A and B are shown apart, each in its own frame.
Chain A
Amino acid sequence: MKKNISSYNKIEKRTVEHLAKLCRLELSETEILNYQNDLSKILEYIDKLKEIDISNVRTSFDFGRNKNIKRRDEFVDTKGSLDIPEKIIKLMPETKDGYLKVKKII
């Protein structure tokens, strides 16, 4: 199978804008144009994979180690790490009375 890269030669500007929103990234107009160029170039490069016939290949994610790792659902004593909750709360940008403050959703 020979490659056909023309279809992705340049991704559309509105595709980049949509992607940025999906990724929750605020971008300036210049950044959008730069990413339009970069992403087009990268997609053209990775389109090389279309040369390969993969019809007979089964997907594998695990380097041949397909087994579940289980553990008992039981209490684990975390002696020596009792201050971890306080440390986690200290990392929160905004708290009130020991609770994490978040933005209003509804």
Chain B
Amino acid sequence: MEFTDLTIEKIHYSLLKKEFSVSELTKYYLEKIKKEDKEIFAFITLDEKGSLILAKKLDEKISKGQKINLLTGIPCAIKDNILVQDIKCTAGSKILQNYFPPYDATVVKKLKEEGVIILGKTNLDEFAMGSSTEYSYFGSTKNPLDKKLTPGGSSGGSAAAVAAGFCVFSLGSDTGGSIRQPAAFCGIVGLKPSYGAISRYGLIAFASSLDQIGPMAKTVKDVNIVFESIVGSDKFDSTSVDIPKNNRKIKIKETKIGIPKDYFIKKIDAKIERAVKKAIKRYEDMGAKIEEISLPYTEYALPCYYIIAPAEASSNLARYDGIKYGWCEKTEVDLLNFYLKNRGKGFGPEVRRRIMLGTFTLSSGYFEAYYQRAQKVKKLITEDFKKAFDRVDFIITPTTPTPPFKLGEKIQDPVLMYLSDIFTVAVNLAGLPAISIPVEKKQPLSFQIIGPLFSDFSLIEMAKIYEA
């Protein structure tokens, strides 16, 4: 049996027809990872034993003729900032290198109820702060399309795992583009849902007003299946809501797509521009109406993000002190020096940079000039989108300004690295859903479709039309 290019549905029907077992499938993926991941480094932790035990149990269930779900037996990978009970969760950081979570994140609990096989935990920039996965304490992930290139970040391990064929789907988290940008760089599909559509309970917090968990897979259809299994309100996350499912049918001839001229700027790579225009043309040929729109506050989204996200990070990361859990240096020093040493050595350079930046912009005398101003700009950006969605149904932009860059290329210059997210951050600030899709399959040139707040289901339908 050939296991390449498997989708969730293909596996499901093969399992029902007993063409192969969950154990055979799981073994195939584990062997492939063990053989090929030395060069990619998509995984921080593999749960070989747990995966095989569960696979065997599921096979018994199938052989007894018990009903299975669409996701039963589907091998997947989880970003290492999302908690899976009793499996080490590092957030890519030295300070959490020995952290074994006592509980499951809500998304993980839901996936486990469906019967997925969690093969392991994937690499990320430390605490999801980065755009290349190079800021992981455990080492850089390489792009499976070309190992000299970065897979993007921060969910670079999750994107690389799918692109390399190490799993069928993965979960990532997106605070400023961390699902969409690596999906684009690795030539796969990645969805950043509306803020609140999916519970964040059990996601290690970075910037709580922007963070959102989302699925990554090779096809929109697979992303859709996973999304449907994890969507919904949760009593453990009071920002989560139930989003409407009704407005799902898309009539492409009655659909208006807005193209914001502010995203087609001089800095954009010619190959990306050509590819995205090709994708737009495809929708136009199917009968969609294309309209040029303007989102005038676009250029302020990135500086706004770099005030809000580090400010929230600086308070969220205050909890890591080496006292209750996490790495600490066993030395005989007083409390202050204990904190200083654990945090100084436990966090990597980018995380420390952002903690200091956030502490600065929140400090007395600067709060109004930075954080409060940024919150107001965030509102202007949100209104930009609201006005646009009065005129159009969806917005299409490039996901990234350039194709994947080389490993090491931007690591020395934080501002240059931040610019990788220039097209993705506005969506997080406005809380909107957006999906990144490769223009051509397995190519690192992608476009993103943005929808109105809570239009996630229609947005996915719109993306399916492209894939069909």
Please name all residues of chain A whose beta carbon is closer than 8 Å to the beta carbon of B410 when the two chains form the complex: none
List B residues 338-382 near A (Cβ within 8 Å).
338-341, 343-345, 347, 349, 352-353, 355-357, 359-361, 363, 369-370, 372-380, 382
Q: Known: A52-B300, A54-B376. Contact between A91 and B343, CB under 8 A? A: no
In-complex Cβ contact of B356 among A23, A51, A58, A93 (8 A): A23
Binding site for B on A (CB under 8 A): 11, 15-16, 19-27, 31, 35, 38-39, 41-43, 45-52, 54, 57-61, 63, 65, 69, 71, 81, 83-84, 87-88, 90-94, 100, 102-105
The reply to whether B377 and A54 contact each other, CB–CB distance below 8 Å, is yes
Please name all residues of chain B whose beta carbon is closer than 8 Å to the beta carbon of A102 when the two chains form the complex: 323, 335
B322 contacts chain A at the CB level, 8 A cutoff = yes
The reply to whether B345 and A93 contact each other, CB–CB distance below 8 Å, is no
The reply to whether A105 and B340 contact each other, CB–CB distance below 8 Å, is no
B321 contacts chain A at the CB level, 8 A cutoff = yes
A61 vs B312: C-alpha distance when bound (angstroms) = 13
The reply to whether B241 and A65 contact each other, CB–CB distance below 8 Å, is yes
List B residues 287-338 near A (Cβ within 8 Å).
297, 299-300, 303-304, 306-307, 314, 321-326, 328, 330, 334-338
In-complex Cβ contact of A19 among B235, B306, B337, B360 (8 A): B360
The reply to whether A49 and B382 contact each other, CB–CB distance below 8 Å, is no
The reply to whether A39 and B353 contact each other, CB–CB distance below 8 Å, is yes
The reply to whether B356 and A19 contact each other, CB–CB distance below 8 Å, is yes
The reply to whether A22 and B359 contact each other, CB–CB distance below 8 Å, is yes
The reply to whether A63 and B379 contact each other, CB–CB distance below 8 Å, is no
Please name all residues of chain B whose beta carbon is closer than 8 Å to the beta carbon of A15 when the two chains form the complex: 360
Please name all residues of chain B whose beta carbon is closer than 8 Å to the beta carbon of A20 when the two chains form the complex: 356
A87 vs B102: C-alpha distance when bound (angstroms) = 6
Q: Known: A20-B356, A23-B355, A57-B376. Contact between A41 and B414, CB under 8 A? A: yes
| 9 A-B pairs with the lowest CB-CB distances in the bound complex, closest first | A26-B344, A69-B238, A87-B102, A26-B340, A91-B325, A57-B376, A103-B335, A24-B339, A46-B303
Chain B interface: which size bin? Answer: 35 or more
The reply to whether B340 and A81 contact each other, CB–CB distance below 8 Å, is no
Q: Known: A41-B415, A87-B102, A103-B338. Contact between A35 and B373, CB under 8 A? A: no
The reply to whether B324 and A100 contact each other, CB–CB distance below 8 Å, is yes
The reply to whether A91 and B99 contact each other, CB–CB distance below 8 Å, is yes
A65 vs B374: C-alpha distance when bound (angstroms) = 19
In-complex Cβ contact of A105 among B86, B99, B196, B335 (8 A): B335
Q: Known: A16-B356, A26-B344, A48-B300. Contact between A100 and B103, CB under 8 A? A: no
Tell me, rounded to whole Å, the shortest Cβ–Cβ distance linking B422 to chain A: 12
B195 contacts chain A at the CB level, 8 A cutoff = yes
Minimum CB distance partner of B386 in chain A: A64
The reply to whether A45 and B355 contact each other, CB–CB distance below 8 Å, is no
B453 contacts chain A at the CB level, 8 A cutoff = yes
A46 vs B370: C-alpha distance when bound (angstroms) = 9
Please name all residues of chain B whose beta carbon is closer than 8 Å to the beta carbon of A45 when the two chains form the complex: 303, 306, 415, 418
Please name all residues of chain A whose beta carbon is closer than 8 Å to the beta carbon of B370 when the two chains form the complex: 46, 49
Cross-chain pairs A/B with CB under 8 angstroms, 18 sampled: A25-B343, A25-B352, A41-B414, A42-B415, A49-B303, A54-B380, A61-B209, A61-B375, A63-B196, A87-B100, A91-B326, A92-B324, A93-B323, A93-B328, A93-B330, A100-B323, A100-B324, A102-B323
The reply to whether B303 and A63 contact each other, CB–CB distance below 8 Å, is no
B431 contacts chain A at the CB level, 8 A cutoff = yes
Q: Known: A42-B357, A45-B306, A46-B303. Contact between A23 and B102, CB under 8 A? A: no
A17 vs B459: C-alpha distance when bound (angstroms) = 47
The reply to whether A25 and B196 contact each other, CB–CB distance below 8 Å, is no
A65 vs B467: C-alpha distance when bound (angstroms) = 34
List B residues 95-144 near A (Cβ within 8 Å).
99-100, 102-103
A48 vs B357: C-alpha distance when bound (angstroms) = 16
The reply to whether A38 and B414 contact each other, CB–CB distance below 8 Å, is yes
The reply to whether B324 and A35 contact each other, CB–CB distance below 8 Å, is no
Tell me, rounded to whole Å, the shortest Cβ–Cβ distance linking A88 to chain B: 6
Q: Known: A46-B306, A87-B100, A100-B324. Contact between A63 and B300, CB under 8 A? A: no
Q: Known: A38-B414, A41-B414. Contact between A60 and B196, CB under 8 A? A: no
The reply to whether A49 and B209 contact each other, CB–CB distance below 8 Å, is no
Q: Known: A19-B356, A46-B306, A49-B307. Contact between A92 and B325, CB under 8 A? A: yes
Tell me, rounded to whole Å, the shortest Cβ–Cβ distance linking B381 to chain A: 10
Please name all residues of chain A whose beta carbon is closer than 8 Å to the beta carbon of B299 when the two chains form the complex: 48
Q: Known: A22-B363, A25-B355, A63-B195. Contact between A93 and B322, CB under 8 A? A: yes
Tell me, rounded to whole Å, the shortest Cβ–Cβ distance linking A2 to chain B: 15
The reply to whether A49 and B377 contact each other, CB–CB distance below 8 Å, is yes
The reply to whether B359 and A19 contact each other, CB–CB distance below 8 Å, is yes
A24 vs B343: C-alpha distance when bound (angstroms) = 7
